[in-house]
Amino acid sequence: MAVIVDLMQTVNNFLNKHQDQRTANWFLMSSPFYTLGVCLLYVIFVKIIGPKLMENRKPFKLQNTLVYYNLFQVLFSTWLFYEIGMGGWFTGEYSFRCQPVDYSNKPSTLRMVRASWWYFFSKFTEFFDTIFFVLRKKNQQITTLHVIHHGVMPMSVWFGVKFTPGGHSTFFGFLNTFVHIIMYTYYMLSAMGPEVQKYLWWKKYITTLQMIQFVAIMVHAFQLLFTECNYPRAFVWWIGMHAVMFFFLFKEFYNEAYIRKKQAAAAAALKLARTGNGVCQNGDAKLQNGDAKLQNGAIKLQNGVNGYAKAPAQNGSAVTSVNDYYVNGVNQRIKEE
């Protein structure tokens, strides 16, 4: 144990020699191990402790809590976006081509320094995204992408606030807070229930916006590898490689959530048509011995425009919806083969 304590102290001493003195005594900034510890506790709770505690309990609904939480995140992100903007990006003081860190105590500079710390702090508040998933037993939504994204960000931003609270790398937070305004607005509306959810057709475009964000951050960071700029080259790589990592993680999520699932559903529906003595004509699969017609991955009944009353029964019970037809019908036919 003494060896570990000595090692931690050595790391702290090394980092403190090069720190920005303006943030040296701010909350959580004296050592990286406080932030690292909180991030590790977060991962352990959402992946192990939380699901275990909820294993034999009913999920919490938390509808009102989620509405207010997401409203808070919308307002917090809006304030951060404004503060980072007024710290330089909105005022014309900052250049998109090259922006060195200003280590002075000029009012606009200190405004950016404070905004950088609050952006760091906001990464901890976002842990509640996952904690609410755990309490609602939405474990399928606690994906590798989700945990890595939330678990890594506080530690990543800590180094920026410790050494470069301002300058070129604040573009990351500037874009990210804008995306979060849109993202948490969507989550807030979704939490309001089915009456609002039916208008939320644009979820996948949030993921697209996030990927565009990371491409912009990559370009903005890596351009300094080809120009002369008084900005630490290490932080160019630090920010740029984070953007690369998150881009590919979000791209994999997008492929899985919106492309592969659609392809799998289309393949299963086509198999349903074939096992029902159907033929495929011009991309539409028609059942010869039934009343269903498959068009673009959806099943329509030829008889019964407003319902499914004339759909065949499955296992002795009438099919009342497309979902019933898909689950009971397809799975049953596959088993019989």
Give how far Cα 199 sits from Cα of 1, 75, 185, 193, 194, Å.
56, 22, 13, 11, 9
Distance CA 202, CA 185 (A): 12
Active-site pick, 18, 146, 149, 242: 149
CB atoms under 10 Å from CB of 293, counted, come to 16
Q: Distances in Å between the alpha carbon of 287 and those of 21, 43, 145, 284, 324?
A: 74, 50, 41, 10, 17
DSSP 32-84: HHHHHHHHHHHHHIIIIIHHHHHTTSPPP--HHHHHHHHHHHHHHHHHHHHHH
CB of 301 closer than 8 Å to CB of 292: yes
For residue 86, what are its two tokens? 């007024």
- Indicate if 149 belongs to the active site: yes
The Cβ of residue 35 has, within 10 Å, a number of other Cβ atoms equal to: 22
HSE of 89 in the Cβ direction (CA atoms, 13 Å)? 20
SS3 label, residue 299: strand
Residues facing residue 101 across a β-bridge? none
Q: What angle do CA 61, 67, 73 make, to 5 degrees?
A: 125
Q: Active-site positions?
A: 149
